[in-house]
Structure 1
Amino acid sequence: MSGPRLYYLDDIPTPYRLGVQKLVAERWPGEFRLGFCAESEPGREWTLDFSGIDTEFIPGKQYRRPSPDNPFQIKWNPGVARSLTAWKPDVVILSGYAHPTMWRAARWCIRNKVPYALSCETSMRSSLSPSGWRWNLKRLIAGWIVRGMAFGLPVGSEAAEYLRIFGPTDAPMYYFPNTPDTAPIIAEAKRLRETGGEPALREKLGIPADAAIFLFVGRLIDAKRPLDMVRAFLAAKGAEKAVLLVIGDGALMEAMKAEAKGDPRILFTGWMKDMQAIFGLMSISTAMILPSESETWGAVVNETMAAGTPVVSSDRVGAAIELIRDGESGFLVPVGDVPGYTRAMERLLADPALADAMGAAAHEAAIAQGEAFATGNLIAGALAAVAKKA
C-alpha cells in the first residue's frame, strides 16, 4: 500500500480506544500499525477483537505495585526503538509521556526526524500546580517530549491548555476525546423503546414502574466519592418515589449501606455482568450521578449521554467538563458540594420535561464527539505533520 506509514504506540488495549484505532486502520491513506507496551494491567483486562489491524505487542516489563484505586503501572519496553526502525514509520502517535517506553520512542523520532504526536488526558485541574519543585521536576523529566511533538492530541480543551503550559509548546492541537463504543448502548435504548421492554427491566431489579432512577455505575472507593451521592439523594425533596441504583462494589460498600440506613429507595446490586441490562438502565434513568474527586476522563459519561440520559457530575471529571453544557445537557457540580447534587436531583425530579430535553441534548453531544470526530482529528493532524516534514 502506498502512502505515509503511521505507527500508533499505546500502553495497553482498552475498549474506549479500540473503536477509534479500528477506524484509523480503515481510513488512514497508507499503512498503519498499532503497537502495545503490555497486554493488560491488573484489574484492566478485556477481551478485545483486533481483527483488521496490524498489531504488535512489544516485549517488556511493568513496574509499580497496583492499588485498588489506581492500577496504573510504568511500562518499559527496551525493544521499541528496534520495532520503529524495522517498520520505518513516517509519523508516530505516542499515548502520553508517563512511560519510559514513550520517552525512548520520542528520542527515536527526534533522532530520525520523524514527527510524533502525544495524546494527553491530564488537565490543570487534575495535575500539580504549575509551580514548586514537583512541577519543575516533572517538567525537567518529561517537558522535552511535549516541546518536541509535532502536534498534540488532547482529550479536550483543558488537556490542551495543560500541554501548552507544561511544555511549553505552541504545537497545533487536535482534540482526541476518549470514545467508548456506544453503538450497543444506543441499540439497546432503541430496543427498549420499540419493544416496551422497560417494565420487565424494572421488575427484574425491584424498581417501581413510576420511580425516577438516579444511577451510579463504578467502583465504590474514596476517589469516586459515592457517599456524597447517597447523602445528596437522602436530602432531596420530591424523591419519595425515586430510587438511587448503585451498580458496583468496593471498599466503601458497607459505609454506604450504613449511610443509607436501610432506606428501601437505595438499591445496591454489586457488580452486574449483564451489560445489556446496564445499557438499558442507562437509557431509562433520569440521570447518572458521578461525584468523583478526580478522573482524567470517565467513559461512563460518554456512554450515558449516548443513551440519551443526562449526567450530574463533579467538575473534576474530564469527560463531563468537555461534553456537558451545564444546565443544558447535564449538571456540573463543584466536587464535594453535596447540596449542589441535591439541587440538581430536585430540578430533574420537579421537571420531567427538562430531564427529557437534557437527555436529548446529551445524546447529540456524545455523538458529535464520538469515534468519527476523534478519528478525523488524528488523521488530520498526522497528515499535516507528514506534509510539513515534506
Structure 2
Amino acid sequence: MPLNAQGSTAKVRLAYLVSHPIQYQVPLLRRIAQEPDIDLTVLFGSDFSVRDYKDEGFGVGIKWDVPLLDGYHHEFLPSLRDTSGVSVTSPMNHGIFSRLRRGDGQQPFDALWVHGYATVNAMHGILAANTLGIPVLLRAESWLRDRSRSGAKLVAKKLFFDLLARLVDATLPIGSLNAEYWQHYLGEDFRQFLMPYAVDNSYFQQRSLSAQSGRAELLAELDLDPARPVILFASKLQYRKHCDDLIEAYTKLAPAAGAEPLPYLLIVGDGEARAELEAQAAATGFGSIRFCGFRNQSELPRFFDISSVFVLPSRHEPWGLIVNEVMNAGRAVIISDDVGCQPDLIVDGKEGAIFPVRDIPALTAALQRVLASPETAAAMGQRALERIKTWSFEEDVQGLRQALAAVTGKIQS
C-alpha cells in the first residue's frame, strides 16, 4: 500500500454523496474502490434506478442491464422525499450530518465529494461537512452556455456562488467548458483538479469488438444492405437533441429528386419527440430510415459496429457521454458546437466534424465530408479511438488523488 503524506499506510476516508446509482458512474466507483489507500463510501439518496422506473427523457420504462451496486461500498440514506427522479427537492434525505460524523467509534470522513450543487441534498451535505470540518470536493456538469436569465437571477446566482466558494475546497471539472464555468463563478485562483467525464473505455471497446461476430445478423434484422454506409443517432428523443435537424439534413443527401440517399439513417432511442420524428421521416418517402427504439447500454455497441458515422446535433448538451462510447468503437463523430465534450474530444476534420447548432446546411456539409469515402470515415474513426484512450478512468483517479492530496494531506497524488 502506498504511504500517505505522513509516511503511514492509513487510508483516506472519502464519502461520495450522489442522488442515485448512475449507470455511467458505477464503473468509475468500482475503479476508485480498487485504490489501496482510498476508503470510499458512496451515499445514495435514492435507489430508484435499480428498480424498474420510467425515465422522463426516454419516456419509457427502464431497467438497466448492467449491475449498479457491485464492487464498491455504498449506503442508501434514509428518505424524506423520493419521487423516482432527480429534482431540486428529490431525493431528499435525513441523517447526512450524522453519517458524515460517523459514530460508534468510527473515524469521521476525511473528505466529502458531492455530485452537483443545485439540490437540497447537495447543499445539506456541503453544509454538514463544513460544520464537521470536512473538506468538500465538488463535481458537476455546468457550463456557461446556459439558458438566459434575468438580471435579478444573475445577481442571485453570483451571490450564491460567493457563498459556495467559501464552502467548497476544490472543484473537479469534467472538461474544458466546465473548468471555464468554475473559474468564472468561483474565481481564477480557485483550486481545480481535472476529473474527466469518462466512460468505461475497456467495456465499450471489448463490446464493440465482440459485436463484429454478430454484424451480419443485425444487418439482416434491420434489413440493411452491408454495402451502404450507416448514419447513427442514439440518444433520448428529446426536442433539444434535434434529431429533426439530422433528418432534414439527411434528406439533402439524396442525389436527385425521387432518389434516396446512399447512407441509411438509424435512430436509436425513445422519448417525447418520437411520434413527430416518425411523421417527419415518413413524409420523406424514404425507405432508408429506421427507428430502433430504446436499447440498453449493453446493446449499443452492436449499433456502433454497423455505423459509419455517429451524429449528435443537440442544443445545450452539457457533455454527451454517448460520444465517448461511440469513439471507443472507432467511429467518426459529428456533433454540434453546443455539445460540451467538443473542445476536449473532437477536432473538426480529425475525429469527425463540428457544425454550428441548428445550422442544417452545415450539418449536411459535415455529413458529406465525413462520408466522402469509406476510407475518410474509417480514418476519422481510428483517430477517435486513439483520442478517447487518453480520456479515461485512469485520468479520473489521478485527478481525484491530486485533489485529495491537496485538501487532506493524507494521500500521495
With structure 1 as the length reference, what TM-score do the two structures score? 0.89
Shift of the alpha carbon at 1:144? 1.8
- Say whether 1:285 aligns with 2:335: no
Shift of the alpha carbon at 1:63? 6.8
C-alpha separation between the residues in 2 aligned to 1:71 and 1:105? 16
Counterpart pick for 1:381 among 376, 382, 403: 403
Shift of the alpha carbon at 1:143? 4.1
Counterpart pick for 2:270 among 242, 246, 249: 249
Query: Which consecutive residues of structure 2, in runs of 5 or more, have no partner in the other structure?
Result: 1-8, 56-61
Match of 2:286 in 1: 263
Match of 2:198 in 1: 179
1:172-321 residue pairs with structure 2 within 5 A? 172-193=191-212, 195=213, 197-236=214-253, 240-260=261-281, 261=283, 262-272=285-295, 275-276=298-299, 278-321=300-343
Q: Which amino acid counterpart does residue 220 of structure 1 have in structure 2?
A: L
Match of 2:136 in 1: 116
Q: Which amino acid counterpart does residue 244 of structure 2 have in structure 1?
A: L
C-alpha separation between the residues in 1 aligned to 2:109 and 2:409? 14
Q: 1:25 to 1:373 in 2, by over 3 A?
A: same
Match of 1:18 in 2: 26
Q: Does 217-226 or 313-322 show the bigger shift?
A: 313-322
- The alignment partner of 2:91 has SS state of strand
Q: Which amino acid counterpart does residue 14 of structure 2 have in structure 1?
A: L
- The alignment partner of 2:172 has SS state of strand
- The alignment partner of 1:300 has SS state of helix
Q: 1:74 to 1:127 in 2, by over 3 A?
A: farther
Shift of the alpha carbon at 1:141? 3.5
C-alpha separation between the residues in 1 aligned to 2:202 and 2:159? 42
- Say whether 1:84 aligns with 2:84: no
1:116-155 residue pairs with structure 2 within 5 A? 116-126=136-146, 128=148, 132-155=151-174
Cα pair 1:185 1:280 within 8 Å, conserved: no
- The alignment partner of 1:359 has SS state of helix
Q: 1:218 to 1:160 in 2, by over 3 A?
A: same
Q: 1:220 to 1:156 in 2, by over 3 A?
A: same
- The alignment partner of 1:174 has SS state of coil
Shift of the alpha carbon at 1:98? 1.2
Match of 2:374 in 1: 352
C-alpha separation between the residues in 2 aligned to 1:265 and 1:45? 30
Q: Does 223-232 or 311-320 show the bigger shift?
A: 311-320
CA-based RMSD of the aligned residues comes to: 2.6
Q: Deviations over 1:85-110 (max 9, x none)?
A: 11511111111211122212222222
Match of 2:364 in 1: 342
Shift of the alpha carbon at 1:128? 4.8
Shift of the alpha carbon at 1:272? 3.5
- The alignment partner of 1:190 has SS state of helix
Cα pair 2:21 2:69 within 8 Å, conserved: no
Q: 1:34 to 1:251 in 2, by over 3 A?
A: closer
Match of 1:60 in 2: 79
- The alignment partner of 1:16 has SS state of coil
Query: Which consecutive residues of structure 1, in runs of 5 or more, have no partner in the other structure?
Result: none
Shift of the alpha carbon at 1:29? 0.7
Shift of the alpha carbon at 1:211? 1.0
Q: 1:358 to 1:168 in 2, by over 3 A?
A: same
Cα pair 2:268 2:295 within 8 Å, conserved: yes
Match of 1:164 in 2: 183
C-alpha separation between the residues in 1 aligned to 2:222 and 2:192? 45
Q: 1:388 to 1:52 in 2, by over 3 A?
A: closer
Q: 1:62 to 1:347 in 2, by over 3 A?
A: farther
**Percent identity among equivalent residues?**
27
C-alpha separation between the residues in 2 aligned to 1:65 and 1:159? 27
Match of 1:104 in 2: 124
Match of 2:44 in 1: 36
Cα pair 2:21 2:68 within 8 Å, conserved: no
Of Structure 1 and Structure 2, the greater helix share is in 1
With structure 2 as the length reference, what TM-score do the two structures score? 0.85
Q: Deviations over 1:200-251 (max 9, x none)?
A: 3211211111111000112222121111000001112567321001112233
